[in-house]
Amino acid sequence: MCVARRRPTGRAGATLPGRSNRGQNVNLKLDNVLITRLEAVVNWCRKNSLWPLPFATACCGIELMSTGASRYDIARFGAEVFRFSPRQCDLMIVAGRVPIKIMPVLQRLWLQMPEPKWCISMGACASSGGLFDTYAVVQGIDRFLPVDAYVPGCPPRPEQLLRAIMELQEKIQRYGTLAGPSLRTESPETAQQPR
């Protein structure tokens, strides 16, 4: 009995791509294939999945809450869910004035966050003390924490916070997160203490 060998076919009897008529493999033209570095993929994933830890103490907190509402929709930029556990977050948003007595708590939260981590100073009070030029209020959190983006205003509009998040995403994509000077390592001994 003679068995005829059939060629593999696709729909309606068309020859499948990648096979010649003789059954030998030929080079395939691969569509939708992207070749890149691992660091570029990791940076893209991290910039589009920021997990913010809100630290709101004043009127800037109201604007921070409205940023998460449907009108401004912070979820478009990958920062959808505000988490209140520092071990689950990689972005701290300090909104409002920070009293000296609260600064050690803020530093402890910062040290509990996993690397890589970023910080946004939201509002005039967090950035420079604002109109509270007194001994009881920290005159800028950048004296105690490394700040990656500043949002000016009293209180700043939600659009300004979204712009700061977009700038932070560009910074993450450009400078990377796997290795290099962008990774900050702090310990309780090296962190500056409030006076």
SS (H, E, C) 175-186: HCCCCCCCCCCC
What number of other Cβ atoms are within 10 A of residue 2's Cβ?
Answer: 3
Tokens of 52: 């913010």
Rg (CA), the chain: 26
pLDDT at site 112: 93
Which domains, from first to last, does the chain contain? 52-175 (3.40.50.12280)
Render each residue's pLDDT in the chain as its tens digit; 195 residues: 555 555 555 455 555 555 555 555 556 666 777 777 888 888 888 888 889 999 988 888 888 888 888 788 888 887 888 888 889 899 999 998 899 999 999 999 999 999 889 999 999 989 988 887 888 899 989 999 999 999 999 889 999 999 999 999 999 888 876 655 444 545 445 455 554
Whether residue 116 contacts residue 182, with contact meaning beta carbons closer than 8 Å, is answered with yes
Is the alpha carbon torsion for 47, 48, 49, 54 positive or negative?
positive
Burial-class residue 100 by CB neighbours within 10 Å (0-12, 13-18, 19+).
middle
pLDDT at site 182: 47
pLDDT at site 94: 94
pLDDT at site 195: 45
Strands 91-95 and 149-151: unpaired
pTM of the model: 0.72
Q: What are phi and psi of 178, to 5 degrees?
A: -80, -40
pLDDT at site 175: 82
